[in-house]
Amino acid sequence: MPTTSIGTHPNDTGRLRLRGHDTLSEIVGELSFTEGFYLLVTGRRPSPAQSKLLDASLLILMDHGLTPSALVARLVSDSNPDDIQIPLAAGALMIGNRFAGTMAGAGRILSEGMAFSGEKSEWARSVVQKFQEAKRRVPGFGHPNYKEKDPRAARLFTVADAAGVKGDYISLLKLLSEAIDTAAGKPITLNVTGALAAVLHEIEFPVDAMRAVAVVGRCAGLVGHVLEERTNPLSPELFAFSESVDYLE
């Protein structure tokens, strides 16, 4: 018989459980959303440091202005003004390897690095070489706007330091960053998504769920964009721009 340890079914009216805890007496009114999210994903209650860093990770990508995810959500909202879940879902689909979702790739690389039994500097150089040969960027590095330093990454590291985490993954990421800079002959921006991968590792958040942190945080931000689109729409301007695009035979 199949089983689940996440939560009880709605037809189980005699109890309401989440990860082994009574939802009404031990979860609702007792845990924050961030704490409940961590518990649901990992099966463990977070420590104060883990909760603080997950909260910071959810906030750091909540909004970044008129990003592709925000524009898509606004356009879909214009077509479906009465169903807020539809534009939110559409906008969330934009959180992938190109936009805001590379922390999963960076997280896997850091997992491999932590498991590497030799010198970590040797591992870092091998990672850079592998990506150079494949002519691909290392996930979590480079940014079209931030040059040399991403202040969002720096802020996450500051919060992590203040929270007192061990810092092994953050140190490993910085070592990889140095190897990337050396190979490039210039500073390559350590992106916020790379920082997120290290920080989420520090709090024992599963690699396979790391991108979900960006999705959950960004969906909250998209709510604001969808509501603003109803009172201060951008869609008419976008449609007007589309009329200016020439058709070529």
Q: Are residues 108 and 203 in the same domain?
A: yes
Residue 133 lies in a domain: yes
pLDDT in tens, the chain (249 residues): 899 999 999 999 999 999 999 999 999 999 999 999 999 999 999 999 999 999 999 999 999 899 999 999 999 999 998 999 999 999 999 988 777 778 999 999 999 999 999 999 999 999 999 999 999 999 999 887 888 789 999 999 999 999 999 999 999 999 999 999 999 999 999 999 999 999 999 999 999 999 999 999 999 999 999 999 999 999 999 889 988 999 888
Residue 66 lies in a domain: no
Residue-wise burial string across 187-198, b where 16 or more C-beta atoms lie within 10 A, e elsewhere: ebbbbbbbbbbb
Residue 52 lies in a domain: no
Residue 165 lies in a domain: yes
Residue 182 lies in a domain: yes
Cβ–Cβ < 8 Å for 156, 162 = no
pTM, two decimal places = 0.93
Last residue of a domain, one of 5, 26, 46: 46
DSSP annotation of 31 reads S
Q: Are residues 108 and 39 in the same domain?
A: no
Residue 134, domain CATH: 1.10.230.10
Q: Are residues 23 and 108 in the same domain?
A: no
Cβ neighbours for 1, distance < 8 A, ≥ 6 positions apart: none
- How much is the pLDDT for 102? 87
Last residue of a domain, one of 46, 63, 85: 46
- How much is the pLDDT for 100? 75
For residue 212, give both structure tokens: 């979900």
- Dmax (CA) for the chain in angstroms is 67
Q: Are residues 25 and 116 in the same domain?
A: no
- How much is the pLDDT for 142? 86
Count of C-beta atoms within a 10 Å radius of residue 25: 10
Residue 227 lies in a domain: no
Last residue of a domain, one of 207, 227, 242: 207
Range of the domain at 142: 103-207
- How much is the pLDDT for 63? 94
For residue 40, give both structure tokens: 């649901």
Total of domains in the chain: 2
Residue 6 lies in a domain: no
Residue 221 lies in a domain: no
Residue reference for tokens 């960076």:
106
Q: Are residues 128 and 202 in the same domain?
A: yes
- How much is the pLDDT for 53? 98
For residue 12, give both structure tokens: 């189980």
Cβ neighbours for 246, distance < 8 A, ≥ 6 positions apart: none
Gap between the Cα atoms of 100 and 218, Å rounded: 9
Closest by alpha carbon to 100, among 145, 138, 68? 68
